[in-house]
């Protein structure tokens, strides 16, 4: 039966792809890729020759209906992002929602997601947590800080290197300089590191050592 597969891909270390993911990517009719150049390197490494189509945040609004129509007509698609699990701060939600709406079967495979190892590795409570993803820009950012200042559950953010210092400064302003923070950088990659401490201590660390690479921030909830 034709369906849509959501297939996680490695966030750094290529060994983190599953055998099932490789099999599915070889068996489907088409692979929807966020960036075909980036995904092309991954597919070549695992000798996957399935044709790719571009599916990213700039075209997904226009392509969703056609993809769903093709699945209903018998084709099978796999959706991958540049890294990690599709739809987690990456394209995938719109297509998944439309498939569900139209009665198309969706099968999401388990696999790599950056925030899970960062959360577990933080040492903060992980029985209950809030995933915020990327903070909004400008005034929307301040609004989220004010709301999250009272959050008692562990909070998880994605952040880019050039905004990390600004975000840590925001934590100090709205959460307090003693709020515990864990910053995981380049998870599964060669230069992976996790820096833990108060918001003030972590800000001082990265002020002296400018960050690079993909970043996940985990913040302890309000006591």
Domains of the chain: 4-108 (3.40.1010.10), 115-219 (3.30.950.10)
DSSP designation for 13: -
Bridge pairing between strands 180-185 and 215-219 = antiparallel
* Residue burial 63-89, b: 16+ Cβ < 10 Å; e: rest: bbeebbeebeeeebbbbbbbbbbbbbb
What's the whole-model pTM score? 0.92
Residue 134 has pLDDT above 80, yes or no: yes
Q: What is the pLDDT of residue 138?
A: 82
Q: What is the pLDDT of residue 59?
A: 81
As a whole number of angstroms, the distance between CA 119 and CA 210 comes to: 22
> Please, are residues 32 and 55 in contact by the beta-carbon 8 Å criterion?
yes
> Please, are residues 34 and 138 in contact by the beta-carbon 8 Å criterion?
no
Q: Where are the alpha helices (DSSP H) in 10-149?
A: 19-27, 36-45, 60-72, 93-101, 115-122, 138-148
Residue 181 has pLDDT above 90, yes or no: yes
As a whole number of angstroms, the distance between CA 26 and CA 48 comes to: 6
Residue 1 has pLDDT above 80, yes or no: no
């Amino acid at each position: 039966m034709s369906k849509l597969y959501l297939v996680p891909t490695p966030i750094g270390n290529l060994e983190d792809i599953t055998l099932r993911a490789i099999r599915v990517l070889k068996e489907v009719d088409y692979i929807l890729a966020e960036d075909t150049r980036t995904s092309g390197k991954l597919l070549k490494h695992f000798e996957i020759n399935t044709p790719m189509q571009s599916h990213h945040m700039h075209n997904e609004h226009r392509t969703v209906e056609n993809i769903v129509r093709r699945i209903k007509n018998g084709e099978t698609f796999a959706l991958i992002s540049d890294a990690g699990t599709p739809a987690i701060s990456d394209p995938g939600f719109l297509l998944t929602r439309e498939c569900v709406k139209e009665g198309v079967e969706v099968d999401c495979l388990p696999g790599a997601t950056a925030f899970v190892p960062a959360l577990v590795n933080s040492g903060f409570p992980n029985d209950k947590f809030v995933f915020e993803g990327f903070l909004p820009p400008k005034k929307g950012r301040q609004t989220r800080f004010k709301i999250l200042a009272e959050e008692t559950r562990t909070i998880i953010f994605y952040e880019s290197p050039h905004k990390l210092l600004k975000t840590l400064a925001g934590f100090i302003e709205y959460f307090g300089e003693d709020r515990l923070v864990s910053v995981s950088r380049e998870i599964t990659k060669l230069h992976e590191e996790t820096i833990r401490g108060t918001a003030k201590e972590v800000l001082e660390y990265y002020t002296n050592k400018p960050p690079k690479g993909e970043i996940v921030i985990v913040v302890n909830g309000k006591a």
